[in-house]
Structures are given as structure tokens and as C-alpha cells.
């Protein structure tokens, strides 16, 4: 089901990377025909091979992108959440979506028609230059994120992911996992077995996992582990053999 964008939706959409180099009034003009889709878990926005007519911005909830191999297996490409956009390039080129986008949780997603943005760019080419510059900066940031992820241990990746789900800075807190552990492993670049081992190691520092609920004894300690596992837990966690 689609609806008009609310003021809150617009605040999130105008902050995405592709629009950061544009004036507020320009962004408002570009996204004028945009709508918001309300999705339930397993609802899809588009399927692999569908004509790419729009790109999307997650306003709330979680959405996964995945491809289906010729053998029928599902390969998760990315898990997206609030403020993240996807399918921009393929929509502007008028190709077909190379993956399927499916809601993992209840989600609200902004749909931006590509043809309207293309018309805006033809009317004012400076829009394209600003969007390219913003996208280039965002790509550089993503490369740095990938480098950081590769440098982190599995324990650090899991600690950082759990910490990102809480606004608490210190003390005890409870966290609800937003989706199942198989998808969490895929998002963090881990196997399900490695994720389980990381959870087991974090139990030693007061992180208790019960199904989709997590209780953290000291969220500040968890953030320390994410930043520097060795110094934060020296002598606490034993190496895995």
C-alpha cells in the first residue's frame, strides 16, 4: 500500500547521500512525485529482473537485497535500514533490477520515480554534478567501511552491530534483534557458525542472547570491544582454537 510522504519522511529522505549536495528546494522538487510504501515482512518492492523504474529509501524498518542463483539458492547482498538508499544507478540507466528487495520487518520505504529525476537533470544539469559528487563521497565512505569490517574480528563486528541497536551509552540494557541470525551473519560478513562463536565469547563479558532478545550487562564495555577488542577484554576472552 502506498501513501503520500509525511513531513517526517521528507526529513529522512532529504538527508540521504545522493541529495546532500543539493539545496533543500531542489530536493523537494526532485522528490515531489515520491510515495511511501508500507510493507509487511516478506513483502517485496521489486523482483530480480523487473524493469528498474525507481529507486528507494528506507524510512523505517529493514529491507534485504538478495539474488537467486540458477540452482535456486538465495544469496543476501545487503541489509538496509533507516536512511539508506538503493537501486539508484540501475534506475537512472533504465535497466532491470539485478536483485530482489524484500522487507525483513514491518517497513516504510520511499519510492522515487527515476523518470522525474531524469527530467529535472535535463532541465538543470548542475543537479547531476551535485548528485555525482555526493555519490562519490558516499562511495568513498563505503570503501572505508568495508576496509574497517575486514580488519575487525568476528567478535568486534557483532559487538558493534549490537551496540548500534541501542541508544544507551552506559549501564545495563536490553536489545531486540531486528531480524534472524542468518541475516545478521550475512550483514556482518560471517558464517552462521562464526556468529554463534562470537555470541558465545561475548557471554563472558555479560552479553546474554535468548532467541531474539539480548541483555547487555554494560553497553559501554560492548562499545569498547567494538572499538578495540584486545585492550577492552584482555584476559577476559579466551582465544578460540
In a domain, 238, yes or no: no
In a domain, 32, yes or no: yes
Residues 105, 209 share a domain: no
Helix, strand, coil percentages in the chain from 3-state DSSP, rounded to 5: 45, 25, 30
Residues 131, 40 share a domain: yes
Q: Which grid cell is 129?
A: 554534478
Q: 148-202: per-residue pLDDT in tens?
A: 666 678 899 999 999 999 988 889 999 999 999 989 998 888 899 999 999 999 9
Count of C-beta atoms within a 10 Å radius of residue 230: 10
Look at residue 141 and tell me whether its pLDDT is greater than 70: no
In a domain, 71, yes or no: yes
77 vs 132, more confident? 77
The burial of 141, by beta-carbon neighbours within 10 Å (0-12 exposed, 13-18 middle, 19 or more buried), is given as exposed
Q: How confident is the model at residue 229 (pLDDT cuts 50, 70, 90)?
A: low
Residues 160, 72 share a domain: no
pTM of the model: 0.76
- Boundary (domain end) residue, out of 102, 124, 149: 149
Look at residue 238 and tell me whether its pLDDT is greater than 60: no
Residues 30, 13 share a domain: yes
Q: How confident is the model at residue 23 (pLDDT cuts 50, 70, 90)?
A: confident
Q: Which residues contact 211 (CB under 8 A, 6 or more apart)?
A: none
Where are the extended beta strands (E) located within the chain? 2-4, 35-39, 44-46, 54-60, 63-68, 74-80, 85-86, 100-103, 107-113, 173-176, 207-210, 213-216
Contact 175, 166 (CB under 8 A): yes
| CATH code of residue 38 | 2.60.120.10
Q: What is the 3-state secondary structure (H, E, C) of 213-230?
A: EEEECCHHHHHHHHHCHH
61 vs 117, more confident? 61
Residues 98, 10 share a domain: yes
Q: Which residues contact 60 (CB under 8 A, 6 or more apart)?
A: 82, 106, 107, 108
Look at residue 220 and tell me whether its pLDDT is greater than 50: yes
Inter-axis angle of helices 181-188 and 192-202, to 10 degrees? 100
Please tell me the total count of domains within the chain.
2
Domain interval for residue 182: 152-232
Amino acid at each position: 500500500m502506498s501513501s503520500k510522504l509525511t513531513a517526517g519522511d521528507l526529513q529522512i529522505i532529504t538527508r540521504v547521500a545522493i541529495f546532500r549536495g543539493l539545496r533543500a528546494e531542489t530536493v523537494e522538487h526532485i522528490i515531489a512525485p515520491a510515495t511511501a510504501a508500507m510493507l509487511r515482512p516478506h513483502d517485496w518492492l521489486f523482483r530480480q529482473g523487473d524493469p528498474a523504474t525507481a529507486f528507494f529509501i528506507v524510512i523505517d524498518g529493514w529491507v534485504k537485497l538478495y539474488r537467486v542463483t540458477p540452482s535456486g539458492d538465495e544469496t543476501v547482498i545487503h541489509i538496509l535500514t533507516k536512511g539508506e538508499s538503493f537501486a539508484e544507478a540501475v534506475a537512472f540507466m533504465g535497466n532491470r533490477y539485478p536483485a530482489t528487495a524484500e522487507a525483513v520487518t514491518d517497513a516504510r520505504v520511499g519510492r522515487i520515480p527515476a523518470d522525474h529525476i531524469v527530467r529535472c537533470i535535463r532541465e538543470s544539469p548542475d543537479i547531476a554534478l551535485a548528485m555525482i559528487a555526493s555519490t562519490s563521497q558516499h562511495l568513498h565512505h563505503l570503501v572505508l567501511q568495508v576496509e574497517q569490517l575486514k580488519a575487525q574480528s568476528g567478535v568486534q563486528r557483532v559487538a558493534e552491530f549490537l551496540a548500534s541497536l541501542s541508544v544507551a551509552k552506559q549501564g545495563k540494557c536490553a536489545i531486540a534483534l531486528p531480524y534472524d541470525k542468518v541475516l545478521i551473519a550475512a550483514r556482518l560478513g560471517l558464517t552462521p557458525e562464526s556468529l554463534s562463536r562470537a555470541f558465545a565469547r561475548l557471554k563472558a563479558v555479560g552479553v546474554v542472547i535468548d532467541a531474539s532478545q539480548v541483555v547487555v550487562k554494560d553497553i559501554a564495555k560492548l562499545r569498547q570491544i567494538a572499538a578495540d577488542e584486545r585492550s577492552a577484554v584482555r584476559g577476559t576472552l579466551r582465544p578460540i582454537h
